[in-house]
Amino acid sequence: MAGAKQTTITDVAAHAGVSLATVSRVMNGNATVDPALAERVRASAAQLGYSANPLARSLVLGRTQTISVVVPDLANPTFQGMLRGLSRAAVADGYHVLIADSDEHVDEERLLALESRRRSDGLILCAPRMSDEQLAEVVADVAPVVLVNRTGDAPSVAADYRTPLRGIIDHLYAQGHRRFAYLAGAARSASSGQRLSALEDARRELPDCSIAEIPAGVDFASGAGALDDVLTSGATAVLAFNDLSAMGLLSAATERGIPVPGRLSIAGFDDIPFARYTSPALTTAAVPMGELGARAWSALHDLLDGRTPEPAVTVSPEVIVRGSTGAPAA
């Protein structure tokens, strides 16, 4: 039982002895209604606990005050941070948030996006693994839409993975490191390309150093599993694809009695909440996911209000130097 039936605008009109139109005007702060009447309507509304049915409003106004967000995996801390920043920003502007977790099923992402979109005014899409062709198609169907961490035919908000990786390299270089190893992660992602680009730049601009690329994965286990290859490479400093992978490597190294950073410096990427709690704490680049989410909302908000957002917003991760990196052994 959902309790008593919701009071409608008709009830309020009857109670206040006016027409529906008048109640509607008062409730919307609209136009000029006789102050006395308005007050009477407000009193009736308050007394009856009335507030307009958002569904009916949405139907007639053609706008839901809701946006939807499609993410590949709600369990991924990256998206959580974004979702939180996004949610708070949207709520502050009076919007509601519909979420859709695609559970990494790329083939369902399209349908999910379409369905969510129809129940809302706009969409924020995180679909790192969707093909470019499919993305283009979806984007056209769900506009207005904002893309997160990838570009396409819509405004996008992304983190810069290149500059901070280069920053980490420079930091390590300044400490004396010349032989690096890069633990490669998901190859197909856009952020991966940016990382590789940073490596290229570094190779060009720091000709006296070498950077070996070691295929690994994006999780703890792959980081740990890469230890042998790292040691074989002769590297003194490791650039992990992300914090998870860095932590795996760090853990494996510690277990093997390899001093970090004494024998091996390790840097991660992302600054997930636990990066600061490893021993030693992890040097990394802090990707401001909350800000990224808020920026994504801001861009979508612009779109919804007929403004033109920046076509491509970039947020810049900050390099956080902690204990897992230091000078190489002499």
Q: Which does 21 bind (CB under 5 to 8 A by kind): its own copies, DNA, none?
A: DNA
Using rule CB under 7 A, residue 111 touches DNA? no
Question: Candidates 21-29, 78-86, 181-189, 233-241 — which segment interacts with its own copies by CB under 8 A?
Answer: 78-86
Q: Considering only residues 137 through 156, tell me which ones interact with its own copies, judged by CB under 8 A.
A: 140-141, 143-144
Which one-letter DSSP state was computed for residue 234?
T
* Whole-angstrom distance, CA of residue 230 vs CA of residue 213: 9
Q: Considering only residues 4 through 23, tell me which ones interact with DNA, judged by CB under 7 A.
A: 5-6, 8-10, 17-23
- Find the binder of its own copies among 22, 64, 233, 284 (CB under 8 A): 64
Amino acid type, 188: R
Angle between helices 35-48 and 20-27 (to 10 degrees): 90
Which one-letter DSSP state was computed for residue 283?
B
- Find the binder of its own copies among 33, 37, 99, 321 (CB under 8 A): 99
Helix, strand, or coil (residue 297): helix
Nearest to 317 by CA among 171, 181, 165, 180: 165
Smallest gap from Cβ 71 to its own copies, in A, equals: 10
* Whole-angstrom distance, CA of residue 123 vs CA of residue 144: 6
Q: Which does 116 bind (CB under 5 to 8 A by kind): its own copies, DNA, none?
A: its own copies
Whether cis (ω within 30° of 0) applies to the bond prior to 144 is yes
Whether cis (ω within 30° of 0) applies to the bond prior to 72 is no
Q: Considering only residues 36 through 75, tell me which ones interact with DNA, judged by CB under 7 A.
A: 37-38, 50, 52-53, 56-57, 59-62
**Chain Cα centroid distance, residue 226:** 28
The DSSP bridge partners found for residue 212 are 181
Q: Contact positions toward DNA, by CB under 7 A?
A: 5-6, 8-10, 17-25, 27-28, 30-34, 37-38, 50, 52-53, 56-57, 59-62
Q: Contact positions toward its own copies, by CB under 8 A?
A: 1-3, 6, 51, 53-56, 58-59, 64, 66, 73-75, 80-81, 83-84, 87-88, 91, 96-101, 103, 112, 115-116, 118-119, 140-141, 143-144, 220, 247-248, 251, 254-255, 274, 277, 279
